[in-house]
Each structure stands twice: as C-alpha cells, then as structure tokens.
C-alpha cells in the first residue's frame, strides 16, 4: 500500500465520507474510491453493492480477484440538550462506540463540570448545525423539551436523513410538537420517523434508564436501517 | 475533533502515525472468513518493523503468526496471503479455537 493512499484513505474517513479501499489481490495494486467516483462494468456494480450493504469482501471479475474494504462513517449521536439524561447517555455512548456531541445554548446547563470528556457546544443549534451538518450516519436526540431549542434540529434531522430522530416528551407534548412542525411544512409521513416519547419502551424510570432506552433505540435503528435506500446520498 | 478518541484505537490512523514517525509498517487485513470467525472481514492489524502491533485479525489466536509473517513482508516488500483454520490437535501450532477459518492479506505500507 502506497503511503499517500493510506493518507487519502484516512482523510476520507476522517471527513466522514464513505469510501471503498480496492485491492487487486493478484498484483497488490490498490486505490481508494469515493461513492461519487465512476467505475465501469462489473467492478463498478460490485463497488456500488458494497457501498449499499456496507459489507467488505472479495469479488472475482474477469479472472482477477479484488478485495473491497468498505469504510462507512462511524455512527455518531448529536444530543440537543445538556440535561441529566445526556450526562448518562454521554458515558454509555462512549462505551458502545458512538461519537457524541451535545449542543445546548443554555450555558447554565452546558458546563464542562457536568460534561467532562464530552464534546459540548454552548450555542444555538441554528448556529451550530450549518457548520456541522447532520447526515445519514447521525442520530439526533432532542431532550430539552423547549420548542425554541428542539424544533429546528428536529426539522434538520428529518430533512438530512438521520438514521434516528428522537424527541423527549409525553404524548401530549409530542402532539403539540407535531402540530408546530406541520405548520412549518413537515410532511406527516416524515414526522412519523420521530421516536416520541423517546427511546424503547422498557419502563425506564430515571434519567440513566431513559439513556439506556434511548441508546438501545438508536442501536436498533442503526442495525436495522434500510441499507437499500436511506443511506444513499 | 470528535474522532480523536476513536483514532487512538484505529489501526489505519496508527499506521499513518507510525509511518510519519519513520517506522516500517505492514498492514494485515482479514479478507475472507468461513464459519465462526472471531473478527469480521475488513478488520486490520498494523505491525511495525520491531514487532509492535495494534488492532486484531482474530481474537488473539493467530496474531503472533501474522506478526512473524509481517516481518518477512516488510523485509521483502511482496504482499502475502495467509490462511488459518483450526490447529491440528496434536500439532503445537497456531489456529482458531472457534473452529472457523480466515484468510489474511499482509502488505507493506510504502
């Protein structure tokens, strides 16, 4: 493997772009292919299929054997709200292997003392998200209860195809939220993607247990996501 | 920024860092598995010229053998395909205790 190719591969992965590292096992030659790079013929089809499934593997094409190593961006969680649930979720998400970012404009909540070792941004989602766009490999968790803070990122998450969109609040709170978002033009079938009340129904009774329910819900959504459609850019 | 923690355990990031440090580096990749293989296809083990390593291609069963082969690959420059299955019960050699089989591609970086 060429050093410059390793650098390119790492740069793509770091930028959260899906790539295939293709190696011709016959002569050892390799290259890095982005989703948008055109590759003709049977090899192109094999690459497209690898991007869709996320599965690495060997293929034989015209007597040559290739290894396709698919690198999809690691799943991450963006939490809107530096609340008690987020404190527990931050710790658990790290153990489960997710990157996690917390956004909350309320500086009384978003303090490093309450969130050690977590990426914490004390700013409005409206100001943060344009710089750090949500994507299909992101789960959005909105837990402030405050429409001023939660509504915008929820809309953004639905529009950018986040694999999970969850919002804290009772059924009544959520019904009000649905009305507000509908008034802003969000379609009802799109709205149905919001997990609310947030998390799997495991009878969670305190912030830590709710965090478990949310994380389990996220893992379920990620592992059972529709690879054929949702992750296509 | 949020990838800093993950990078500390990422074999490909470590391979790049080692390369920048002027070390000789080999990369081993699981390219095929049969049965109950411990690590999925695409898993990496990065090895340097001194035998330091990071990552895994099995649950620790065959890493020693892969590291030994990597030294030859670093010296010779030619990539190699290795195959591991269950070790013969009487032979004292490495194998996969889980009963699976794996193929591992070892190449030099640079």
**Would you give the distance in Å from CA A34 to the centre of its chain?**
19
Tell me: pLDDT of B4 over 50: no
- Residue among A196, A191, A107, A186 nearest A145 (CA): A196
Query: Is residue A202 within 8 Å of residue A222, measured between CB atoms?
Result: no
Any chain B CB within 8 A of the CB of A9? yes
- Residue among B47, B53, B58, B51 nearest B104 (CA): B58
Which band of pLDDT confidence, cut at 50, 70 and 90, is reported for residue B89? low
The mean predicted confidence, pLDDT, of chain B is 86
Identify which of A9, A25, A28 has the shortest CB distance to residue B12: A9
Tell me: pLDDT of B92 over 80: no
Closest-CA residue of chain A to B14:
A10
Q: Which residues of B touch A (CB under 8 A)?
A: 1-3, 5-6, 12-13, 15-16, 19, 27, 29, 31-32, 40-42, 78-79, 81, 105, 107-110
Any chain B CB within 8 A of the CB of A95? no
pLDDT of residue A226: 62
pLDDT digits (tens, 9 = 90+) for A214-229: 999 999 998 887 654 4
pLDDT of residue A176: 95
Distance CA A67, CA A164 (A): 31
- Residue among A112, A217, A86 nearest A164 (CA): A217
pLDDT of residue A95: 87
Which band of pLDDT confidence, cut at 50, 70 and 90, is reported for residue B8? low
pLDDT digits (tens, 9 = 90+) for A53-66: 889 999 999 999 99
Dihedrals φ, ψ of B75, to 5°?
A: -70, -40
**Axis-axis angle for helices A3-14, B11-20 (nearest 10):** 130
pLDDT of residue B3: 43
If you write DSSP's letter for every residue of B62-92 in order, what string do you get?
SHHHHHHHHHHHHHH---EEEEE-PPPSSS-
Any chain B CB within 8 A of the CB of A232? no
Closest-CA residue of chain A to B20:
A3
Q: Is pLDDT larger for residue A223 or for residue A149?
A: A149
Any chain B CB within 8 A of the CB of A53? no
Tell me: pLDDT of B6 over 60: no
Confidence (pTM): 0.70
Any chain B CB within 8 A of the CB of A94? yes
Average pLDDT over residues B23-41: 92
pLDDT digits (tens, 9 = 90+) for A21-54: 999 999 999 999 998 899 999 999 999 999 888 8
- Residue among A205, A185, A181, A184 nearest A194 (CA): A181
pLDDT digits (tens, 9 = 90+) for A69-123: 999 988 999 999 999 999 999 999 988 889 999 999 999 999 999 999 899 999 9
3-state secondary structure of A23: strand
């Amino acid at each position: 493997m060429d050093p410059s190719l390793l650098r390119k591969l790492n740069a793509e992965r770091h930028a959260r772009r899906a790539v295939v590292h293709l190696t011709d096992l016959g002569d050892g030659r390799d290259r890095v292919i982005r989703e948008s790079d055109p590759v003709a013929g049977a090899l192109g089809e094999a690459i497209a299929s690898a991007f869709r499934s996320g599965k690495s593997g060997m293929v034989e094409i015209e007597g040559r054997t290739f290894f396709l190593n698919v690198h999809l961006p690691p799943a991450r969680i963006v939490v809107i709200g530096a609340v008690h649930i987020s404190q527990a979720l931050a710790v658990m998400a790290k153990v489960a292997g997710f990157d996690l970012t917390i956004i909350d404009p309320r500086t009384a909540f978003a303090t490093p003392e309450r969130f050690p070792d977590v990426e914490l941004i004390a700013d409005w989602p409206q100001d943060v998200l344009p710089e750090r766009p949500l994507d299909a490999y992101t789960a959005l968790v909105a837990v402030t209860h405050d429409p001023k803070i939660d509504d915008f990122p929820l809309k953004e998450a639905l529009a950018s195809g986040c694999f999970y969109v969850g919002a804290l609040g009772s059924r009544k709170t959520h019904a009000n939220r649905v009305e507000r978002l509908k008034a802003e033009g969000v379609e009802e079938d799109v709205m149905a993607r919001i997990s609310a009340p947030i998390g799997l129904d495991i009878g969670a009774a305190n912030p830590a247990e709710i965090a478990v329910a949310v994380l389990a819900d996220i893992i379920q959504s990620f592992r059972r996501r529709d690879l054929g459609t949702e992750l296509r850019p | 920024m949020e990838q800093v923690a993950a990078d500390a355990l990422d074999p490909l990031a470590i391979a790049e860092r080692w390369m920048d440090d002027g070390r000789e580096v080999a990369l081993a990749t699981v390219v095929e598995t049969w049965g109950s293989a411990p690590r999925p296809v695409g898993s990496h083990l990065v090895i340097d010229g001194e035998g330091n390593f990071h990552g895994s291609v099995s649950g620790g069963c065959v890493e020693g053998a892969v590291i030994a082969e990597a030294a030859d690959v670093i010296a010779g420059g030619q990539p190699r395909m290795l195959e591991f299955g269950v070790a013969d019960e009487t032979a004292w050699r490495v194998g996969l205790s889980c009963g699976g089989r794996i193929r591992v591609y070892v190449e030099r970086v640079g």
